[in-house]
Structure 1
Amino acid sequence: MSFDPMAAAVDWLDAYRAGDIEAILGMYAEDAVIVCGCGGTKTVTGREGRRAYWVDRLIGSPASQLDNLQQSGDGALISYFVRDSVVSAVLRFNAAGQVSTHTCGPSN
């Protein structure tokens, strides 16, 4: 059975919606990079950087329902509601099925 990036993106959103920080962090590769354009562009690297990023996101911008899901190259584009706006994230995965890059920002 091959890896399904769209199913992995749904699992990622489910963990985000549940506020399960350990599940979320476990989905990222050790060298994963997050580039977030929500509220100003920031680049996040390292385990502790990702933890701090996700603590802030879970408290300040909890996700609710799915808006859109599409295949995007070797990853998935997933859009979801956060309070009164929609955020889009592109998740790219490594060969082990872990998130290697996560780029997000407000949907246009």
Structure 2
Amino acid sequence: MSDFDQMGIVVDWVDACRRGDLAALLDLYTDDAELECTCNGMQRYRGRRELESYWGPRLSGFSSAGFGLEEIKPTPHGVDLEYSIAGSLRIRASFRFSAEGKIYSTLCTPSRQNSHDGCAC
């Protein structure tokens, strides 16, 4: 059991996405964090610079299209989140955390509840 609020960190992540605040979003991750996206094939990003190149272009799209929290729940190893873009495109993200309370791993996949040809994650 962690001594920090994992759900709160993910809510902060959602808030940063809604605001389009790249600096705040990146500050939630460890310096060597890894993001794996399977929405359009397998893509991996590691470290602050690669995460910045991944999230930078996406955040402006999120804030203009609308970013919605659909479901958030704790898991034995972190937090799972389902969010939507423009009210319809649904993405599932799984977060894992360092002992210091930072995100060290994110896996995003298209949500099984919505069929589409890709995602904006």
TM (norm. structure 1) is 0.91
Identity percentage over the alignment?
34
Q: Point out where structure 1 has 5 or more consecutive residues left out of the alignment.
A: none
- 1:38-94 Cα shifts (integer Å, max 9, x gaps): 222200012211100011221345551110011112310011111331111001000
Aligned counterparts of 1:16 and 1:73: Cα–Cα separation in 2: 25
- Alignment-mate amino acid for residue 81 of structure 1: S
Assess if the C-alpha contact under 8 Å between 2:92 and 2:108 holds in 1.
yes
Q: Point out where structure 2 has 5 or more consecutive residues left out of the alignment.
A: 113-121
What is the RMSD computed on CA atoms of the aligned residues?
1.6
Residue number in structure 1 paired with 2:54: 53
| 1:73 aligned residue (69, 72, 76) | 76
The more displaced of 30-39 and 1-10 is: 1-10
* 2:89 is the counterpart of 1:88: no
* 2:104 is the counterpart of 1:103: no
* 2:23 is the counterpart of 1:19: no
Assess if the C-alpha contact under 8 Å between 1:5 and 1:74 holds in 2.
no
Question: What's the secondary structure of 2:59's corresponding residue?
Answer: helix
- Structure holding more strand per residue: 1
- Alignment-mate amino acid for residue 78 of structure 1: L
Higher Cα radius of gyration: 2
TM (norm. structure 2) is 0.82
- 1:7-63 Cα shifts (integer Å, max 9, x gaps): 111111111111000000001101110001122220001221110001122134555
